[in-house]
Structure 1
Amino acid sequence: MAAYAICVRDGRILLARSPAWDGTPEWVVPGGGMEHGEDPYDTVRREVEEETGYRVEVTALLGVDSSHRVFREGFGGRSLDHHAVRCVYEARITGGELRPEVDGSTDLAAWHDLDAVPGLTRVRMVDIALRMWRERPATGHLTAQRGARLPEA
């Protein structure tokens, strides 16, 4: 279970950068995993501050995304059955200063023009969260467009 925040200001989105499994830097939506007993609302506020230096006010719950995938460990290795449930919130910056995370899963935080996002090396969760922000689905759940599958994150 995780919680993420879309922070858009003046046509720009706040993203954090994280190394992929192969070490390639990828842009991610600020947020992350819930701690035991933590509410997702508190998780998103904590995670955004940890990863970007900003304090935020949650302004909306945009939706919940669920991803279920089975991975293989190496050639002929055992299967890893992974199910992620992610709350996506809209948030507004209320304080703090932009800075990179210290000793965490990300190494940089930056604002990007919304028009530039398609050209960034990013995780699919960025696209899912942006689509939730744009569409604001009444059910909180995205549907596939014209027969296409929703991207896995």
Structure 2
Amino acid sequence: MNELRVAAYAVCVREEQILLARWVARDGVKRWTLPGGGMDHGEDPLETVVREVEEETGYASEVTALLGLHTDVLRRPRKLGADAELHSLRIVYAGRITGGGLRNETDGSTDLACWHPLDAVTGLERVDLVDIGLELWRTRPPVGRVAGNGQ
């Protein structure tokens, strides 16, 4: 069975630091990621990213720009031993913190949120989306894609 997952993420940078959330994989491995996540049925992507930033970090935010899209297709094991192809479509926005206070998510897919210096990101255990999001944020490509876009 094939699946499509549409998600929205925010690149929030202030004072040379980026806001990241630590994602906990099903196998318990923890990696830093951009705050964001899957769209609920009928939800607008802008609402998704604002909701997800608040859920994962405690901050109220607003979208300031659409940075681009990232797509990837990967095989994932499913119940009863069957594999499925997951087509992941990620919408990446630039975001700005407008209120709230930093806190960790409870009972979610992330367990920690914090600001990291931009120059320290390469030393973090992170998912590829962090690098893709930063590249989109830095270069603002006219077509909203960077090299290595899963294609």
TM-score calculated relative to the size of structure 1: 0.89
Give yes or no for contact 2:57–2:105 (8 Å, CA) kept in 1.
yes
* Residue of structure 2 aligned with 1:124, choices 105, 125, 128: 128
Query: 2:37 matched to 1:32?
Result: yes
Give yes or no for contact 2:61–2:97 (8 Å, CA) kept in 1.
yes
SS at 1:101 equivalent: coil
SS at 1:107 equivalent: strand
TM-score calculated relative to the size of structure 2: 0.90
Give me the whole-angstrom Cα distance separating, in 1, the residues matched to 2:139 and 2:50. 23
Displaced runs of 4 or more, over 6 A: none
Amino acid at match of 2:113: A
**1:71–1:56 Cα change, 3 Å:** same
Q: How much has 1:73 moved relative to structure 2?
A: 5.7
Q: How much has 1:57 moved relative to structure 2?
A: 1.2
Deviations 1:85-141 (A, max 9, x none): 010000010000000012111111000000110100111111111111111110011
Give yes or no for contact 1:124–1:151 (8 Å, CA) kept in 2.
no
Gapped runs of 5+ residues in structure 1? 145-149
* Residues paired across the two proteins, number: 145
Amino acid at match of 1:16: A
Structure with the higher fraction of residues in strand conformation = 2
Deviations 1:28-86 (A, max 9, x none): 10000000000001000000000000001100000011111223569xx4321110001
Corresponding residue for residue 13 of structure 1? 18
The sequence identity of aligned pairs, in percent, is 57
Corresponding residue for residue 92 of structure 2? 88
Corresponding residue for residue 106 of structure 2? 102
Give yes or no for contact 1:3–1:31 (8 Å, CA) kept in 2.
yes
Corresponding residue for residue 115 of structure 1? 119
SS at 1:7 equivalent: strand
Give me the whole-angstrom Cα distance separating, in 1, the residues matched to 2:15 and 2:150. 27
Q: How big is the alpha-carbon RMSD for the aligned residues of Structure 1 and Structure 2?
A: 1.7
